[in-house]
A and B are shown apart, each in its own frame.
Chain A
Amino acid sequence: MILDVVSAALIALGCVFFAAGTVGLLRFADLNTRLHALAKADNVGLGFVVAGLLAQADHPAIAAKLVLIWALALFAAATNGHLLARAETTEGDA
């Protein structure tokens, strides 16, 4: 019971960060600032959702897989952000 409440609270917090990231994506004017907003949604928002799901995991293996999913999403988001920002600066120079 307590675990369910904790899960719900953490996942709701994650959703708040996702909402903030989406608002940033829609309202920010520049590519770099939009990437900044999306990074918050991806890293922190997903982290909170995963933390909420960790409270529901029955087995340590499931918890390990959830954390692995979060780590892989972090890698992907970081590389994508870097490549997008890099492409814009080289495009701007050339």
Chain B
Amino acid sequence: MSFGDAVDLVIGASVLVVAIVALTVRRRDTAVVLFLVFGVLLATLWARLAAPDIALAEAALGAGVTGALLMDTITSSRPREAASSRPWPKRILGWAGGAVAGGAVLVALVAAVRSLSEPQGSLAQSVDEDMGRTGVEHGITAVLLNFRSYDTLLEVAVLAVAALATVSFIQRQSPAPPEPWPGGPPLAVRGLARILTPILLVVAVWLLVAGTTRPGGAFQSGAVIAAVLILLHLGGWTHAVPQGRWRGWGLMVGLIAFIGVGGAGAVVGAGWLVLDPDWAGTIILALEAVLAVAIGIGLATIFVANRTDVRPGGDDT
């Protein structure tokens, strides 16, 4: 076993151990922090499995934005201890039943994994053959924005619907959203927002353009844009994330632009969402920019909506 294999084994084992511990601890905040560790370890596993794009996205979205969402939910409610409302015989029964059923499913799935035949790789071959017509040089970008751009359109729609659903669940006692910090943001946060915003915007644009030739692309760029918007909102510039009248428009702009490009292809070009090989590179870059902004605004809206939730006592910290 080479050193690389040993490192992979250690990373895989630690992913499993951290996941199991995260599921079995009693306190919520411990579970959330362990989930963050799980996300970072998963990102290193992606890097070892030759998926650097996924590693970037997991670190930014899985550990970053999801971590921010979970942390915000924990800090705005009392740290609930293990006070479970169900009587303990039922709990033991629940865990035992889950273990038995889960164990059976696990054995069946592992058997299925062991019996997989050799990979044909026909899809990878087709992607390789047609890469010249796509206008980009990176496989994942070609698949996401050209071969399967319909799936990406639906993903933008799902994100917009999720943001609208989150917003509609939140109650407020007054029309104006309450301030993120009761006494104004501390100097450290304001300073951080001022320093990081230009740097992160440059990084976002770089990730966007780099996605055509190497790991990067709209999703990672969108995650960085979401981070910038959340940071600006926390730093006191509450108009960074669209609220009020502009919120609906902010969420819809990505979806409308995407549909517009697809429709333009249907009217002028070869068909709905078909990209002409001459224009494909430019159109893909434009689509990615719109996509990144849409993902950024969508995720930031979800975070801000969760954060401006008013507790029943009318007190929001």
Contacts and interface: CB of A to CB of B under 8 A. Distances in A.
Does A touch B (CB under 8 Å) in the complex? Answer: yes
Interface of A: 68, 72, 75, 78-79, 82-83, 86
Most buried by B among A68, A79, A83: A79
B192 A79 contact: yes
B196 interface: yes
A75 B186 contact: no
A83 B186 contact: yes
Interface residues of B, number: 7
A83 B196 contact: no
A79 B199 contact: no
A86 B199 contact: no
B82 interface: no
Nearest to B192: A79
B20 to A, nearest CB: 19
B188 A82 contact: yes
A83 B188 CA distance: 8
Nearest to B187: A82
A86 to B, nearest CB: 7
A62 to B, nearest CB: 12
Contacts of B195: 75
B237 to A, nearest CB: 17
A75 B195 CA distance: 9
Contacts of B188: 78-79, 82-83, 86
Interface in B184-200: 186, 188-189, 192, 195-196, 199
B186 A72 contact: no
12 contacts: A72-B196, A72-B199, A75-B192, A75-B195, A75-B196, A79-B188, A79-B189, A79-B192, A82-B186, A83-B186, A83-B188, A83-B189
A78 B189 CA distance: 11
- 7 smallest beta-carbon distances between A and B, as pairs: A82-B188, A79-B192, A79-B188, A75-B192, A83-B188, A75-B195, A86-B186
Interface in B165-198: 186, 188-189, 192, 195-196
A68 to B, nearest CB: 8
Most buried by A among B189, B192, B199: B192
Contacts of A72: 196, 199
A83 B234 CA distance: 13
Most buried by A among B186, B188, B189: B188
Nearest to A78: B188
A75 B196 CA distance: 9
Contacts of B199: 68, 72
Interface string B17-55: 000000000000000000000000000000000000000
Contacts of A82: 186, 188
Nearest to B183: A90
Contacts of B196: 72, 75
A86 B188 CA distance: 10
